[in-house]
Structure 1
Amino acid sequence: MPFPDPSVIATAADLCLRPWRHGVVVLDDSALPDELCLRLECRDGDGSRQPGRDLELELYRSGRDLHLMLSWPSEPEAPMLWQGRHPVWMDPQSGQRCSSPGGESDALEALARRLRALLNPSG
């Protein structure tokens, strides 16, 4: 998968996860041609790093569809969000569907939908 413009991803995160600011770091772009792993690094309004708010983003294709996973590297036990045609919260240990964690889950779902639309405009 060609690397998407990091500014598009960072801008979408900034918009959906206000007031935080984000940068994009490639974690792994060599696994498979249709997969890409990124970290959305978070900063506060003064530019100070907030590593506890970082997100890991995995993009992958299944057929013609783009799917993504969002998770918190600082909270490996927290539910993760899978976004395909609809959002699904999953337990990271079992992979089973679970309840949304509340808090910022609506904002994360909005970010996932926005990224999927921006990065897969035909789907």
Structure 2
Amino acid sequence: MTRRLHITIGTRPDRTDLDDRLGALDAGEDVDPQPSRLSIESLATFGRIFRPTNLTLLEAIVEHEPESIRELARLVDRHPPEVTENVHELADYGLLELEDNGRAKRPVVWYDEFEFSGDVGLRGLESGST
């Protein structure tokens, strides 16, 4: 079963089912194959979350399954405090989860695919900061 996160842009944030679905996946429960949904309020926020440095982190997590944020920082050749900040931002949006691994936190990506949609006109372009 493919685990897909459907991300919409330009709508109010709605993460209502995300935590429940992540918890069910973590517990090994069967989850409805309908994609989880994440709504991102603006194009500017979308750009910040999916900037190249964050995409590199997501790819490294999926490919290497690091045991800690510090190990992830070594994999991408970046300073651990910067990686920690980016990882927490990704976790806040539900794009990854941080599992306890002894004293460390292990970043885990639960989704096989991200699916994007949204209607972003010129108005979405001018709404800058969040």
* TM-score using structure 2 length: 0.28
The structure with the greater share of residues assigned to strand is 1
Rg larger in structure: 2
The structure with the greater share of residues assigned to helix is 2
